Amino acid sequence: MPVSVGLDLYRLLVESVRDYAIFALDATGNVLTWNAGAERFKGYKADEIIGRHFSTFYSEDDRAAGKPERELETAIEHERVEDEGWRIRKDGSRFWANVVITALRDETGTLVGFAKVTRDLSEQRAAAEALRQSEQRFRLLVQSVRDYGIFMLDPTGHVVSWNEGAARMKGYAPHEILGQHFSRFYPPEDLAWEKPTMEIEVATRDGRFEDEGWRIRKDGTRFWANVVITAIREPTTGELAGFTKVTRDLSERRAAELQKIEAARRVALAETANKAKSDFLASMSHELRTPLNAIGGYADLLLAGVTGGLTSTQCEYIERMRRSQQHLLVIINDLLNFSRMEAGRVSYDIAAMSLDDAIAGVVSMVEAQAMQRGLTLDTSATTGVMVLGDRPKVEQILLNLLSNAMKFTDRGGRITVTPFETAEHAGVRVIDSGIGIPPDKTESIFEPFVQVGRTLTTPHEGVGLGLTISRDLARAMGGDLTVRSLPDVGSSFELTLRRR
């Protein structure tokens, strides 16, 4: 091939390259040639740049520092110089370039110019910078986390990195723990069966290991930790490079869980104790009622003269015995009812019922007793209203209210039973002219075993369960039992029920 043809092909090759700027400089640094790559990188056409000094491509700071001249001097001395740095395009924008300048000499060794090859590395630099910044952000993130201990282990389990969270959690400064085996965080009972070795074996085999258990701080104290160990492998070879270990202190959460468990255990014990108490009261109530019923029966037979004539004194004694038996029976019935309600064993048969009929039925039970005590019982008012309730339980409440009214009202007093109705409710007011209730006691009388006015010198019958049972029964039927009272004036108890 003729030399001229070869040179033409070489020139065509250089001029056609677009990924590299390849051009020649004369001995003073002025541009002699310009290829397609140079035009694409730098933005100058050949007629715009040929003849100009190559320092045109350098920043003002580099030109002021004499960098272009220094690079030519280095190329002359060492035949070539290579550099990476910012270069300037025609439009003033910058790009990151790899530059190689080679000295050109003729057959005699005389310097005739320079070959300059430039490659635009802006994309590679941007990618590398993005990776560097990402790695820096990740490193800062890991190092700054305080709520998690995040650190690396080498393939043998020795610590190679240590973040702030690990230092705070475990108490070791980096220089105290780097290079140490991670087994020092485990209690003696775990070390005895080589738990740390097992954990990294599982992580190596399965890629991940998670556990909760006791870990040891530098000062020897224990904390409850959640631990995740993850195997790290080389992307290309798959060879084990080490492990990441993330530890979280769950001591507070575990303490809270244990408190919940203990609270649940106490509730269960209390429920068991309450059930045992209710069962005991129910059993004892039944056991006591049997002989008391027998006592009452025999007393009635004696009073009826079945065993022959009795003197007036004997009759009085037997009557006292019968009243005592009835008093004890009321107490036992209250205890039995209260224990059933506490145990949730009371069932209700809610249905429409006549309020007037319930009042009449209960009043007939107490009329004779009211007369014996010298009390006026006024039950003249009626409404004809129908309510929703369990009639036996409604009558039980009314009987208790009337019994209380007679118990706390002196001879010559008055008790009034008055039905009432509103748009949604209806009920009964039992009003007495008795001793009344102090204002600070109007709610406490509904508490179990509370009786207002009871003293050693002025005892009252019962154990203080009647009003407790009555309010619970009323509320269970969708109603309520309330009171208004003034000391030495009297009390008004109001039973409210839902209208039909």
Which residues 6+ apart lie within 8 Å of 132 measured at CB? none
* pLDDT per residue as tens digits for the range 95-147: 999 999 999 998 888 999 999 999 888 888 877 777 666 656 656 555 555 66
- Residue 462 banded pLDDT, cuts 50, 70, 90: low
Residue 266 is predicted with a pLDDT of 84
User: Cα(80)–Cα(21) distance, rounded to whole angstroms?
Assistant: 17
Superfamily, domain 3-121: PAS domain (3.30.450.20)
Q: How many other CB atoms sit within 10 Å of the CB of residue 36? A: 17
Beta-sheet pairing, 480-486 with 490-499: antiparallel
Q: Tokens 């190596």 map to which residue?
A: 204
Does the pLDDT value for residue 4 go beyond 50? no
Architecture of domain 255-342: Orthogonal Bundle (1.10)
User: Cα(404)–Cα(336) distance, rounded to whole angstroms?
Assistant: 19
Residue 451 is predicted with a pLDDT of 60
Give the bridge partners for 147, in sequence order.
none
Which residues 6+ apart lie within 8 Å of 492 measured at CB? 429, 430, 431, 432, 483, 484, 485
CATH 3.40.50.10320 corresponds to the domain 145-249: no
Our separate counts of H helices and E strands in the chain read 15, 15
Beta strands in 106-239 (DSSP E): 111-120, 148-153, 208-216, 222-233
**CA angle in degrees (0–180, nearest 5) for 477-328-494:** 30
Is the fold of 255-342 the same as that of 351-499?
no
Decide which of 419 and 264 is more confident. Answer: 419
Give the bridge partners for 100, in sequence order.
82, 117
| DSSP designation for 111 | E
Domain ranges of the chain: 3-121, 145-249, 255-342, 351-499
User: Cα(380)–Cα(419) distance, rounded to whole angstroms?
Assistant: 10
Architecture of domain 351-499: 2-Layer Sandwich (3.30)
Characterize 451-463 residue by residue with b for buried, 16 or more Cβ atoms within 10 angstroms of its Cβ, and e for exposed: bbbeeeeeeeebb
For the chain, the residue count is: 500
Does the pLDDT value for residue 5 go beyond 50? no
